């Protein structure tokens, strides 16, 4: 999943390369920030959910392993 | 302190700071009523204060308010206000992580940070805290983080250029009062920073998106929503990106100063004793240690209960000092990057938003140890001007005179013509006598140096 997110980000980077960069967005930097945030957050939301999922599994497994010595 | 509205407090319609009879208060306007009530009733305020992340306040009477107010609060006073252009890398990074931690906790209580200005963070008892109680807004499901751009400009961009390019670029904060523009941060960063996914997206692509959409209108309300999970993902990613930014301390001119001087151990010990005795005689509440290096003498002042600002021009020395403060839990010392030959000016709207260094004084006591020869010889500042400047920022002074015979001065003179005919003890005492009364002086053992205790003339 993380690889997919990475691939999408790289694709986004390539696309962004062709955007004009000469202008300086002093007058209205807010719109670009808004649009980027929506795109980025959608991707990062998926990555975050995956991270949390793995964290929960890890905690669960760690809990199982730490209980073992007590049972003995 | 001037009475009335604080000149830096005007951007947010939710309320503002004002002073009354030497105390500082915050008026909360009716427009912020629901948000303030939510902050208190949701338990967010208590949680943040308990974790020492937000400045605590007490209730005050509304009658103090200059205009019609929902409430008036009295926040705990910040003894010394510092600014991002005076912080070392570690301080700015800690302030960034604090902001994100607060944002995460706020979200759990149904609120978001509507501002993520670095100026909302101050150092209190050795730790960064957010001082703007009105920075919180009720979270509406689906809304993006309104302070995202500001966070990138105030924290991520500056930290990235300090980490990847040069730590001295923090001084760009002085020019760009609302944080470093992302197009500038992106241009300053080396190509290899694009390999860092966080910097690639939040800075480089972000800067391009700003240019791409400049002047274009976008439908902000409607189908474009941002889920809570996405928002948490964004915050988590920013925290990860900031957390991984490092600044490897280079060897500096000053970092090894104490290991590389002509000081005999006896002389150093004796100087510490003299300073200690003088501080006992003055008993200051606050000390500014000018040219503090890594804060050896600042710690002597702090050990006597004086809150000590430990200024140095060298970001390496300040970083080492700050790291030591954190390691040892030293709440009495605040290290800051200050260039005394060009101290922080008054900045911002009407030059009244950010105070100059002298405006934050006068302080009870200034320590100026092993400093004068750098100002007088390296920077050609006449002794009379040094005395006048010091006289404008303190009530008492502990100052060390280092004569030309000293090897440190000889080192400074080795590469320049000695045009400093008036740099001697007699001229020093005469110049300082115009602004100060000499209370005492002691020659340092095994050296040609002398330490003076002076009081400012009325």
* Widest distance between CA atoms in chain A: 69
pLDDT of residue A17: 46
pLDDT at A18: 42
Of B144, B197, B215, the CB nearest to A37: B144
How far is CA B446 from its chain centroid? Answer: 37
pLDDT at B434: 95
Within an 8 Å CB–CB cutoff, is residue A8 touching chain B?
no
Q: Identify the pLDDT of residue B43.
A: 97
Specify the 3-state DSSP secondary structure of B148: helix
pLDDT tens digits, one per residue of B50-77: 999 999 999 988 777 777 789 999 999 9
CB contact under 8 A, A35 and B211: no
| Chain A residues touching B197 at Cβ < 8 A | 6, 9
Q: What pLDDT does residue B223 have?
A: 54
Q: Is the dihedral of CA B112, B115, B116, B120 positive or negative?
A: negative
Whether residue A35 and residue B201 make contact (CB cut-off 8 A), yes or no, is no
**A72: closest CA of chain B, how far (Å):** 39
The CB density around residue B116, as the number of other CB atoms within 10 Å, is 28
pLDDT tens, position by position, B392-447:
999 999 999 999 898 888 888 888 888 888 899 999 999 999 999 999 999 999 99
B431 CA to centre of own chain: 32
Torsion of CA B140, B141, B143, B147, to 10 degrees: 60
For B307-330, the pLDDT digits (tens) are: 999 999 999 999 999 999 999 999
Q: State ipTM.
A: 0.71
Cα distances (Å, whole numbers) of residue B330 to B178, B303, B365, B424, B445: 31, 10, 20, 38, 30
- Interface touch B212/A45, C-beta < 8 Å: no
A5-49 pLDDT, tens digit each = 555 555 555 555 444 444 445 556 688 888 888 888 888 988 888
The residue among B189, B201, B203, B227 with the most chain A CBs within 10 A of its CB, best to mutate, is: B201
Residue from A8, A11, A34 to probe the interface with B (highest B Cβ count within 10 Å)? A34
B149 → closest Cβ in A24, A30, A45? A30
Residues B305 and B368: their CA atoms lie apart, in Å, by: 19
Size of interface A-B (CB pairs under 8 A): 126
Q: Chain A interface, mutation test: which of B197, B230, B238, most A Cβ atoms within 10 Å? A: B230
Domain boundaries, chain A: 2-15+32-71
Using 70 as the pLDDT threshold, list the residues of chain B that sit under it: 1-2, 217-224, 252-263
Cβ-based contacts of A12 with chain B (< 8 Å): 201, 205
Alpha-carbon span B401 to B448, nearest angstrom: 9
* CA dihedral sign, ordered B357, B363, B368, B372: positive
pTM above 0.80, yes or no: yes
Angle at A15 between CA A9 and CA A19, to 5 degrees: 130
Please answer whether residues A25 and B153 qualify as being in contact, where contact means their C-beta atoms are separated by less than 8 angstroms: no
Secondary structure E strands in B155-291: 286-290
Across the interface, do B230 and A45 touch by the CB < 8 Å criterion? yes
Chain B contact set for A33 (CB, 8 A): 148-149, 152, 206, 209-210
Q: What pLDDT score does A3 carry? A: 60
| Residue in chain A lying closest to B213 (CA) | A32
**Domains of chain B in sequence order:** 1-248 (1.10.510), 257-456 (3.40.50.150)
CB contact under 8 A, B226 and A37: yes
H or E, element range at B345: none
Residues 6+ positions from B419 with CB-CB distance below 8 Å: none
Distance CA B223, CA B217 (A): 15
- Give the mutation candidate from B100, B205, B224, B228 for the A interface (greatest A CB count, under 10 A): B205
- From A43, which residue of chain B is nearest by alpha-carbon distance? B230
């Amino acid at each position: 999943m993380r690889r997919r997110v990475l691939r999408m980000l790289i694709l986004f980077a390539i696309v962004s390369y062709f955007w004009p960069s000469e202008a300086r967005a002093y007058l209205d930097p807010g719109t670009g920030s808004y649009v980027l945030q929506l795109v980025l957050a959608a991707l990062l939301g998926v990555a975050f959910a995956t991270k949390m999922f793995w964290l929960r599994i890890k905690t669960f497994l760690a809990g199982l392993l730490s209980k073992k010595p007590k049972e003995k | 302190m001037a009475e009335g509205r604080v000149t830096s407090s005007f951007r947010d319609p939710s309320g503002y700071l004002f002073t009354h009879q030497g105390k500082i208060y915050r008026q909360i306007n009716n427009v912020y009523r629901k948000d303030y009530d939510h902050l208190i009733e949701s338990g967010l305020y208590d949680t943040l204060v308990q974790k020492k992340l937000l400045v605590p306040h007490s209730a005050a009477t509304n009658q103090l308010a200059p205009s019609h107010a929902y409430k008036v609060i009295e926040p705990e006073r910040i003894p010394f206000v510092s600014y991002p252009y005076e912080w070392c890398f570690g301080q700015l990074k800690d302030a960034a992580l604090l902001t994100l931690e607060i944002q995460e906790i706020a979200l759990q209580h149904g609120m978001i940070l509507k501002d993520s200005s670095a100026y909302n963070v101050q150092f209190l008892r050795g730790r960064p805290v957010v001082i703007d109680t009105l920075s919180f807004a009720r979270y509406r499901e689906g809304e993006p983080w309104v302070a995202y751009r500001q966070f990138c400009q105030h924290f991520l961009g500056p930290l990235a250029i300090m980490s990847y390019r040069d730590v001295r670029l923090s001084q760009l904060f002085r020019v760009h009062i609302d944080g470093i523009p992302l197009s500038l941060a992106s241009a300053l960063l080396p190509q290899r920073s694009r390999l860092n996914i966080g910097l690639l997206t939040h800075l480089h692509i972000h800067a391009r998106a700003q240019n791409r959409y400049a002047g274009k209108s976008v439908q902000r309300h409607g189908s474009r929503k941002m889920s809570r999970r996405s928002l948490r993902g964004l915050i988590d990613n920013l925290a990860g990106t900031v957390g991984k930014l490092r600044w490897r301390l280079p060897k500096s001119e000053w970092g090894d100063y104490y290991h590389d001087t002509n000081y005999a151990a006896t002389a150093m010990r004796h100087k510490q004793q003299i300073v200690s005795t003088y501080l006992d005689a003055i008993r200051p509440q606050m000390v500014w240690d000018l040219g503090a290096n890594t804060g050896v003498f600042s710690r002597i002042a702090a050990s006597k209960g004086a809150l000590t600002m430990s200024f140095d021009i060298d970001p390496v020395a300040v970083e080492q000092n700050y790291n030591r403060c954190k390691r040892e839990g030293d709440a009495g010392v605040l290290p800051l990057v200050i260039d005394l030959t060009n101290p922080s000016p008054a900045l911002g709207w009407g030059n009244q938003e950010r105070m100059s260094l002298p405006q934050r004084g006068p302080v009870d006591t200034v320590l100026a140890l092993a400093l004068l020869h750098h100002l007088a010889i390296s920077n050609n500042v006449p002794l009379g001007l040094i005395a006048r400047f010091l006289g404008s920022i303190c009530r008492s002074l502990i100052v060390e005179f280092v004569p030309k015979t000293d090897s440190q001065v000889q080192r400074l003179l080795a590469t320049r013509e000695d045009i400093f005919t008036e740099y001697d003890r007699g001229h020093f005492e005469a110049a300082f006598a115009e602004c100060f009364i000499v209370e005492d002086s002691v020659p340092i053992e095994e050296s040609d140096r002398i330490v003076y205790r002076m009081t400012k003339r009325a």
